[in-house]
Amino acid sequence: MNKKLKVYPIAATALLSGLAVSASIVPAMAASTAPVQIATFSGPEADALKALAPLFTKETGIKVVFTEFSYQALFTKELESVSGGKGTYDMIFMDDPWIPTFAGGNYLYPMSHFGYAPKGFAKGAIQVSEWPPAPGYNAPLGTPSGPRQYYSLPVTGNVLMFFYRKDLAKKYRINPTQWTWNDVNKLAAKVTTKKFFGFVLRGDGGNSSVADFSPILWAYGGHYFNKNWTSALDSPHGIAALTEWVTLFKRYAPLGSASFGANEVGNYLSKGQAAMGEVWPSGWTNVMNPKLIKFTRVPGTIINGKLVQFPEVGVWSAGIPKNAPDSTNAFKFLKWITSEKQQLMYGGNGLDVPTLTNVLLNKQLDKKWPYYVPFYDSLNAAKMRPRTPAWPFVEQALGTQIVNAELGKVTPSQAMQNAAQQIDQYMKEHGLSN
Amino acid sequence: MFRDRTLKYLLVLPALIIILLVMFYPIAYAVYTSFYSYLYGRITNYVGLMNWSLAFQDSFFWHSILITLIYSVIAIPIELVISLALAISLFELENHISKKFITIIRSVVIVPFVVMPTVTGVIWRLIFMPNFGLASEIFEILHLPNIDWLGQSTNSMIAVIIMDIWMWVPFLFIILYAAVQSLPMEAFEAALVDGASRMQLVRMVILPLLKSSMLVAISLRSIDAIRIFDQVYAMTQGGPGDATMFASLQLSNTAFGQLNFGVAATELFITFVIMLLIVGSYYLIGIRRSANVQIK
């Protein structure tokens, strides 16, 4: 017999027996060592979570693997995973406007499924996890009226805050306890020069511009939607708010602001090139010079002698999909990461904002990072964006019109009219409004 | 004989079925998707042709198609002229400088095409950054007014076109340079004997002989221009507003941002048809041209 032919049966037998052995071993190994798969956003917040994960593994023996995505890609990947047969992820991180899609779409386990009732979270943070939304917020048409449940736990706190140069505010004697947009305009007019800017904003449209615009809209008495989910943007309040935005953009903002996102705004403020701006504190607070920059609630306006002021919530929470391969261990990690001990560590770097009241008001932490208390104050006064799965479309329609108004292609009034028309058409076409 | 032939086809059949499935299943699935409405990322109900009606009324989509066409009509001819000039110049230089030097030039010219599109987008975003970017610095040195490249609609489109030229000239150059090198020398010699000047040589010999290669280059480039995504996503994310929201970005936004898969699938087909019409027209021009040549 040919030597080669002699070798083949031996090799084939070895290969087959190898496959058989590994086929019996692999599932057993997978069962004992399969890590908890977590989808998260890429950024400093995720870095801090990743840094804590080895401690969890040490305590419990459960491995945790993070898969990071950019904002838009995260939403898509998570939706693909939760809407498929067997999910890829055991736990998903969600920005608060995504909750209507994930909780409203019935993709997540309520926390009661694990016999858990969330406790100790700041009121402004835990509200994002509730579905149907709390009274005061309109639920999408066709949403069952109750019972209200928590479908996620807030991990990274965020609320849009007002950052300003305290030295300049003092110098020009515009230093109120509660800022109004009128005060902002006054200070900006005094400090703006060719190389230094009174106000810096995220003018690039979409998610970021609409997020920065919301506190102005609400302060001017405007709303996004009426009770029947028709657009409320084309109103005197909405137009006044956009006029304010355009004033800030044209008079006091740096060149190129129509392409600015969070990085540009944060950099202008941290490098001392701008006096004021709205910033999500998570990821930015510890790079600001505390001797120069102060953080407080976003400005409001005085309506009928009363200060109208609403910060905007931007909390990232984590939930467990119903098709998660390992929901039990995922919940263990979720509970662990939102415990007081871990949240203290999570917030200890000054970069990531915790969500538990006790941690935000912790005296030692406050001594080290003296902005958690004003953050807590803002968070509890904050409002969530409308609870509708159509929110991404609202961001595109309004965001585009905001930029058109910035660039002078349309007036604020035309911009609001266009945005309202597009939103109304979309809501009607998708059966989301009456 | 018959059995041999049947066996041959039977053996090919499994591979053919797999190829057809891989190629046509996604298209068939997209057709299916276009007849359904989606909410919360899942199918809700059959809606017939409603998505088609919505797609034709979607102003964001038609705006994205318009700006994709505007960008293509401006960028591709510029890229073609530059790459053609480069190809002819390098061909001319071949007789005057060493082969080694020609290889170096050719390699350097190709570099932008090798860079990943996303990286290209990031590089050009940094170049066009207001106040800090290289473009700003150059304008300042030349005492020219500072231009808001990415913060104005027209300027951002110009910035994208500049980036695109940098990125795609090498591709067209490779095709045209190979074509120039393969031209028959007899035509050149005949023209030179007839006393043709250098310009006449280019206009009356090189360009007519290169027409087919140029047509191929433009067809390939047009297909890619309609599919433009990565580099713009990294550079402008479609902004400011919707100034650089090209068709692919808008489709991705409709599908994955708004979870409007039904409308997105429909708009995908419309884009596909537009693409076919454009590329088809190039082929028609090509066929007519070869028919004319045969008649002559």
How many other C-beta atoms lie within 10 A of the C-beta of residue A119?
8
Task: Specify the pLDDT at position A7.
Answer: 45
B53 lies within 8 A of chain A by CB: no
How many other C-beta atoms lie within 10 A of the C-beta of residue A398?
29
In this complex, do B240 and A101 lie within 8 Å of one another by their Cβ atoms? Answer: no
Which of B 203-242 lie inside 8 A of A, CB atoms? 236-237, 239-242
Of the candidates A230, A277, A205, A247, which has an alpha carbon nearest to the alpha carbon of residue A412? A247
Convert the pLDDT of each residue in A228-243 to its tens digit. 999 999 999 999 999 9
Per-residue pLDDT of chain B (296 residues; tens, 9 = 90+): 567 788 888 899 999 999 888 888 888 888 899 998 887 777 878 888 989 998 998 889 999 999 999 999 999 999 999 999 999 999 888 878 888 888 898 888 889 988 999 999 999 999 998 777 888 888 888 888 888 888 888 999 999 999 999 999 999 999 999 999 998 888 888 888 888 888 888 888 889 999 889 999 999 999 999 999 999 999 998 988 889 999 999 999 898 888 888 999 999 999 999 999 998 888 888 777 666 655 54
Using the predicted structure, report yes or no on whether residue A28 has a pLDDT greater than 70. Answer: no
In chain A, whose CA is at the least distance from the CA of B50? A429
Between A327-337 and A340-347, two packed helices, what is the crossing angle to 10 degrees?
Answer: 60
Task: Specify the pLDDT at position A30.
Answer: 42
Task: Specify the pLDDT at position A234.
Answer: 97
Q: Tokens at residue A136, please? A: 């005061």
In this complex, do A259 and B256 lie within 8 Å of one another by their Cβ atoms? Answer: no
Using the predicted structure, report yes or no on whether residue A10 has a pLDDT greater than 50. Answer: no
Q: Which of A104, A259, A399 sits opposite B151 (nearest CB)?
A: A259
CB < 8 Å to A84, chain B = none
Mean pLDDT, rounded, of chain A:
89
In chain B, whose CA is at the least distance from the CA of A394? B258
Determine the distance in angstroms separating the CA of B189 from the nearest CA of chain A, rounded to an integer.
55
Peptide bond between residue A35 and the one before it cis (omega within 30 degrees of 0): no
- Please, how many CA atoms are within 13 Å of residue B233, restricted to the half-sphere of its CB? 18
Convert the pLDDT of each residue in A214-231 to its tens digit. 999 999 999 999 999 999
In this complex, do A393 and B258 lie within 8 Å of one another by their Cβ atoms? Answer: yes
Suggest the residue from B258, B260, B261, B263 to mutate for an interface test with chain A (most A CBs closer than 10 A): B258
- Please, how many CA atoms are within 13 Å of residue B147, restricted to the half-sphere of its CB? 17
In this complex, do B148 and A255 lie within 8 Å of one another by their Cβ atoms? Answer: yes
Q: Which of B150, B236, B240 sits opposite A407 (nearest CB)?
A: B240
Q: How far is CA B121 from CA A109, B127, B143, B166, in A?
A: 40, 10, 27, 11
Q: Tokens at residue A52, please? A: 């804590």
**Does ipTM surpass 0.85 in this model?**
no
SS3 call for A163: strand
Of the candidates B87, B102, B287, B105, which has an alpha carbon nearest to the alpha carbon of residue B179? B87
Determine the distance in angstroms separating the CA of B152 from the nearest CA of chain A, rounded to an integer.
7
> What gap in Å lies between CA A403 and CA B245, rounded to an integer?
13
Of the candidates A428, A14, A16, A391, which has an alpha carbon nearest to the alpha carbon of residue A206? A391
> What gap in Å lies between CA A145 and CA A139, rounded to an integer?
8
SS3 call for B13: helix
Q: Tokens at residue A207, please? A: 């998610």
Q: Which of B239, B258, B259 sits opposite A259 (nearest CB)?
A: B239
Ramachandran angles phi, psi of A351, nearest 5° = -100, -35
CB < 8 Å to B240, chain A = 203-205, 258-259, 403, 406-407
Size of interface A-B (CB pairs under 8 A): 102
Determine the distance in angstroms separating the CA of B165 from the nearest CA of chain A, rounded to an integer.
22
Determine the distance in angstroms separating the CA of B244 from the nearest CA of chain A, rounded to an integer.
11
CB < 8 Å to A101, chain B = 40-41, 259
Q: Is the dihedral of CA A399, A404, A405, A410 positive or negative?
A: negative
